[in-house]
Amino acid sequence: MLDERRIAWPDYKGNAMFQTLGNLASDPHAGIAFADFASGDVLQLTGRAHVDWDPARTARFPGAERVVEFSIDEVREMRGALPLRADAVEPSPFNP
């Protein structure tokens, strides 16, 4: 969290097609949904995303190739919106 209206996260090598990053370059409007599979709650953020390719900033995250910064315009919390429930599993070995 950068401040109360901005978040950022490192982006790691995927399939090297950059489709999502290209979409953000042409239209920065974006949305993010965080699902809590234990409670069924969903947190939805809408705003604008920017891909930062600065090597100095990226170097703070081992293995990352860029940083995505997201400016939040709207927050919506939906209690019990997700009908699916699941338990936590092991973290992905591909996520540092």
Structural domain contains residue 85: no
Q: In which band, very low, low, confident or very high, does the pLDDT at 92 lie, cut at 50, 70 and 90?
A: confident
Structural domain contains residue 38: yes
What pLDDT does residue 22 have? Answer: 87
What pLDDT does residue 14 have? Answer: 79
CA Rg, the chain, in Å?
Answer: 15
What pLDDT does residue 8 have? Answer: 96
Beta-carbon contacts of residue 5 (< 8 Å; ≥ 6 apart): 71, 72
86 φ/ψ angles, rounded to the nearest 5 degrees: -155, 160
Does residue 96 have a pLDDT over 70?
A: no
Segments forming the whole domain that contains residue 30: 6-78
Structural domain contains residue 40: yes
Structural domain contains residue 42: yes
What pLDDT does residue 56 have? Answer: 95
